[in-house]
Structure 1
Amino acid sequence: MAVRAPRGARSLTFRVLLLASLWSMVALIVIALAISTLYRRSAESSFQDLLRAQLYNVINSVSTDDQFQLTGSPQLGDLRFSQPQTGWYWIVEPIGENFPSEPMSSTSLGYGSIPIPDTETIPFDTRYERYYTTEDTFGNTVEVVETEVVLDQDGRTARFRVAGNRNVLEDDISAFSRNLYLALAGFGVGSLVLNAVAILIGLRPLDHVRKALEQIRAGQAERLGGAFPREIQPLVSEVNALIDSNRRIIERARMQVGNLAHSLKTPIAVLLNEARVLTAPHGELVRNQAEAMQSQVQSYLNRARIAAQRESVLARTEAASVLQRLARVMRRLNADIEFTLLIEPEDLMIAMEQQDIEEVVGNLLENAARYAHSTVAIRAMPAPEEPGNDDTQRRRWIVLEVEDDGPGLEPEQIQEALKRGKRLDESKPGTGLGLSIVREITSEYQGTLALSRGKSGGLLAQLMLPAVAKDVA
C-alpha cells in the first residue's frame, strides 16, 4: 500500500519556507549564544580588571607606621565599599610574627568574613595574583582578587584582598542577554516574514505556469503563453513542444480513425439496402449485423468528434435545459410512465457537448422506460468533493442518476449488460449497444458509468460527469 505524503511535504513553497525558517532559526540561535558567550567573557574580564584596579588603589593607600601597625584610609570612590553587607569589600591582613598589627577592612564588611581557600587549592599566578569565587557570611556570592605586598625594608608583608559582588555581574549579563534575545527574536520574525514574501514572489512564476496549464486543460488555451523568467523558460518551451507533439499524434490517429469509419459507411449502407430485398431469415441476419456495424462505426466517429472538440473548445451545456427537454420527449413517448426530474442546484453546467449529453442520457432513459413499471426518476447534483486533495488537482464532477422501478439486475447481470452488443432480454427491441455507447462517451470525458440496484428495486444508472468550474463558467 502506497504511503501518501503529507499535503505540506508536496508543496515547493512549503519546503522552501520550512528550510529557510529552520536555517534562520538555527543561525539566530547560534548567533545569540555566540554573542552572549562573548559578552560574558568580556564582562567577566572587565569585572576582574575593575577589582584589580581597586586592589592597587588599596595597596597605594596602606602603609606601616612607627609602631609597625597598618595605617591608611583607602578611598575607592565607590559607596558600596562603605555600605554594609553589599558584597564589595577590601581587606588587608599582616603576615608573619614580626608584623603584630591588627588587620584592616572596609566598613561594608563589618563583623562579617570571607572564607579564604589555601594557596595549594588556588595558587598565585605569574603576577602573584589569584582570583576565586566564594560566599560571604551575608550570603553574597563574591569574586575576590588577592595578592601579597612587602610594605617596608624589614620585609613586613601584608595580604591584600578586594571582593566584588558577582550578582551585579550576573544581573548585568542577564539583562544584556534578555535584550539580545528580544532583539534577535524581533529580527528573526521580521526576517522570516521578508523571506516568506521574497520566496512567494520568487515562486510566483511557477503559479503562473500552473494556471496556464489549467487553462490548457480547461480548453481556454492551447499553449503556455506569457513572459516567464529565464530559469523557467526552458521548462515552458519543453512543455509547449510536448503539447505540440501530442497534438500531432492525436490528430493523426483521429484522422485515421475518421477516414476508416467514413470508408466503411458506404459499404454498410449498401449491405443494409441489399438486406431489405433478401428473404428471411438471411435478410434479417444480414440487416442486424449491418446495423450493429453501423452503430459501431458511428460510435468511433463520435469518439473522434469528442476528442477534436475537447482539444479545441471548452464544452459546456446547461444541465436543466437538456434534461427537461429529454424528460418532455420521454413523457410523450411513454404516456403510461411517470418521469420525475430533480436538479439541485438548477444552474449546473456540464463540461460536455449537448448532443453527447442527449445521447448518453437518452440511451439511459430509453433503457429505463423499456423495463420500468410506472416511474423513472432523473436526478442531477454536484458530486461530494474528495477530502485531502489539493485545489489544483481536484476536478469537480456532477452526479447524474437515472432510476426505474423495474425488475433491476443482479451483479453478474450488470457485468454482462455493459458488454458491447449484449442483450439480457431478447424479447425487448434493441441492439444491445446502448449501455456500451453510454460508457464509451462518458469515458471520453474522463467520466464513469456505474449500475446498481436502486432503492425502488429497479436499475440505478449513475453517471459521473465533469462539471464546468465556476470561474470558467
Structure 2
Amino acid sequence: MKRGSLTARVLLFASVWAVIALVAIAIVISQLYRTGSERAFADLLRAHLNSVINAVTINEQGRLAGNPQLGDLVFDQPGSGWIWLVEPLGGLDGPRLASISIGEEAIPSPSLEILPFGDRYQRSYAADDGFGNHLEVIETEVELDNQGHAARFRVGGNRAVLEAEIADFSANLYLALALFGIGSLIVNAIAILYGLRPLDHARQALGRIRAGEAQQLDGSFPREIAPLAGEINALIEANHRVIERARMQVGNLAHSLKTPIAVLINESRDMTPAHASLVRTQAETMQAQVQTYLDRARIAAQRGSVLARTEAAPVIERLVRVMAKLNRDLDFAADIEPRDAVLAMESQDLEEALGNLVENAAKFARNKVVVRLRPAPAVEGERPMVRIDIDDDGPGLDDEGMREAMKRGRRLDESKPGTGLGLSIVGEIASEYKGSFTLARGESGGLSARLTLPALITEA
C-alpha cells in the first residue's frame, strides 16, 4: 500500500488501537488476578492459623501441647516453605511446637515497634526460612488459659507457589489474548479491505478515464460513494462541454479571420513591390500570430481535461519519418525510452511543438538530427514529467544567441525561411501545459532544444 493510502491509515489505526487495547486488557486482568490470588493466599494462611490455634492447648505440666493437622502434606515436607510455629510467651515454659517442614530453624520476625498488630490482632510480613524459601507469614498472639499463659502463633506459606500460579495464569492469558489479537487483526483487515473496495473500484475507474479507456465513472457504487461518483461524472461532462464550446469558438474565429487576411495578401499583389512586400509580410505575421493565440486559447481550454492524452512514440517516429523524406541529405534518428510513455496533452500540440523544433534543427544541422525521450528526474509532490531533447550537429549558438532566439519574432539567420515565431510558440505550448522549454549546447557542438512535458501515469 502506497504512502498516503486511506486503507493503510485505517488498517494502521485499527491495528495500533487493537494492540494497545489488548495490552491494556492483559495488564489489567493480570493485575486483578494477582490481587485476587494474593488475597486468597492470605485467607488460606489465616484459615491455617485458626486451625493451629484451635489445635493447641496447655497440658497439666504447663507446657504447650497439641498436634495440628492442617490436611496438607506440604507441612510435613522439610524445606517445602509451608510452616506453622507456636512459641510460648510470658511465664509459659517448655519447648515450641513446629511443623516438620521447619525443623529446628528459626523464623525471624520484625519488632512490634516496626510492625504492630492490626485490627484482628494479626500482622503479616515476608520472611526467609533456612532453606532459602521466601515466605508470607501471618502472626498473632493468643492467651490459652485464664492464668495469663499465652503463645505466639505463626503460619507461613511459600510465595514461590503463589508466583508460579500467577505466572502460569499470565502466560496462558497472554497466549490467549495474542491469538485473539492476531485473529482480530486479520478479521479487521479483511473487513476494512472489503469495506473500502468500492473506493478502489472508483480509483480504477478514474485510471481508465485518464488512460482514455472510458468517458465516465462506470459501475455500481454503495450509497456513501454514489453521490461522489455522480458529481465526478457531472464534472467530466461539464468539462467536455466547455472544451467543445471552446473548440467551436476557436474554429469560428479562425474561419472569420482567414478570409480577410487572405484578401489582404491577394490585394498586395497589385501594389508597388515595396508596398506589396510590406503588406504581405505584415499580413503573414498577423496570420501566424492570430493562429498562435487561437492555439493558446484551445490549449488553455484543453489543459485541465483529464481526457487529454497522447502516446509520444508514434508522434515522434512519424515526425522523424516525414522530416527524413523532406531532408534526404540529413540523418534523422529517434531514441525513445520508455516506449509506452504517454503525455497529458493533445497530440496536435505535441506535433506542433516537436515539428517546430525538428524543422529548426534540420535548417542548421550539417549531418544528423537526434530526438531523444527520457523520464525527467522525479520531484516529490509534483506530477511526473518526460524530457524530449532535439539535438543537431550544426554551428549552435552562444548564450546571448540562445536568449535572442527565445524572443518572439527574432530570426538570427535571415537567410533561412521563417517568421521567427517557432521557438516562441514552442515555449508557449510548454508553458500552457505546465512544462518548460530551454536551449543548450549539445554534445556534438550544435544546439540542443530541451522540452519538458507532463506525463500521464495510469494505475491498475
Alignment TM-score, normalising by the size of structure 2: 0.88
Contact 1:258 1:304 in 2 (8 A): no
Q: Give the Cα separation in 1 of the matches to 2:386 and 2:69.
A: 95
- CA-to-partner distance for each residue in 1:261-282, whole Å, 9 max, x for gaps? 2211111111111122222221
> What letter matches 1:292 in structure 2?
T
Matches within 5 A, 1:384-399: 384=376, 386=378, 395=384, 398-399=386-387
Q: Deviations over 1:181-240 (max 9, x none)?
A: 232233223323322332233233333333333333333334334332333334334434
TM superposition shift of 1:317: 4.6
1:430 to 413, 418, 424: 418
Distance 1:246 1:352 in 2: 15
Query: What does 1:294-333 align with in structure 2 at a 5 Å threshold?
Result: 294-302=287-295, 315-317=309-311, 319=313, 322-333=315-326
Task: Tell me if 1:383 matches 2:357.
Answer: no
Q: What corresponds to 2:72 in structure 1?
A: 78
What is the percentage of aligned positions where both structures have the same residue? 57
Which has the higher mean CA deviation after the structures are superposed, 408-417 or 87-96?
408-417
Distance 1:468 1:32 in 2: 51
Distance 1:445 1:202 in 2: 38
Q: Which residue of 2 aligns with 1:33?
A: 27
Partner of 1:404: 392
Give the aligned partner of residue 38 of structure 2: 44
Rounded Cα–Cα distance in structure 1 between residues aligned with 2:451 and 2:266: 37
Q: Does 1:239 align with 2:253?
A: no
1:65 to 11, 36, 59: 59
CA distance 1:206–1:71, change in 2 (3 Å): same
Measure how far apart 1:323 and its partner are. Answer: 4.3
Question: Structure 1 residue 87 and structure 2 residue 81: aligned?
Answer: yes
Secondary structure of the residue aligned to 1:142 is: strand
Deviation at 1:346, TM superposition (A): 5.7
Count of aligned pairs? 458
Distance 1:252 1:314 in 2: 16
Match of 1:361 among 354, 362, 367: 354
More displaced 10-residue stretch of structure 1: 441-450 or 457-466: 441-450
Structure 1: runs of 5 or more not aligned: 1-6
- How far did 1:249 drift? 4.1
293-302 vs 427-436, which moves further: 293-302
What's the CA shift string for 1:372-430, capped at 9, x where partnerless? 223222334x41562756xxx854x5443221112222334333323332222223211
CA distance in 2, matches of 1:207, 1:443: 33
The aligned amino acid for 2:45 is L
Determine the C-alpha separation between the residues in 2 that align with 1:108 and 1:52.
18
Secondary structure at 1:281 match in 2:
helix
Q: Deviations over 1:121-170 (max 9, x none)?
A: 22222222221112223322111112223333434222211111112111
In the alignment, which residue of structure 2 is the partner of 1:53?
Answer: 47
Q: Is 2:170 the counterpart of 1:182?
A: no
Name the CA shift for 1:348/1:120 in 2 (closer, same or farther; >3 Å): closer
Q: Secondary structure at the match of 1:26?
A: helix
How far off its partner does 1:304 sit?
6.2
Cα deviation for residue 448 of structure 1 reads: 3.9
Alpha-carbon distance, 1:71 to partner: 1.7
Give the deviation of 1:296 after TM superposition: 2.9
Checking the alignment, whether the CA contact within 8 Å between 1:317 and 1:350 is kept in structure 2 is: yes
Which amino acid is 2:68 matched to?
A: P
State how far apart, in whole Å, the 1-side matches of 2:347 and 2:139 are: 102
1:117 aligns with 2:132: no
> For the residues of structure 2 that align with 1:309 and 1:116, how far apart are their CA atoms?
91
Judged with a 3 Å threshold, the aligned counterparts in structure 2 of structure 1 residues 315 and 277 are, in CA distance, closer, same or farther, namely farther
Deviation per residue, 1:70-93 (Å, 9 max, x gap): 222222222221121221111111
Distance 1:238 1:456 in 2: 53
Measure the CA separation in 1 of the matches of 2:80 and 2:191.
54
| Cα pair 1:219 1:310 within 8 Å, conserved | no
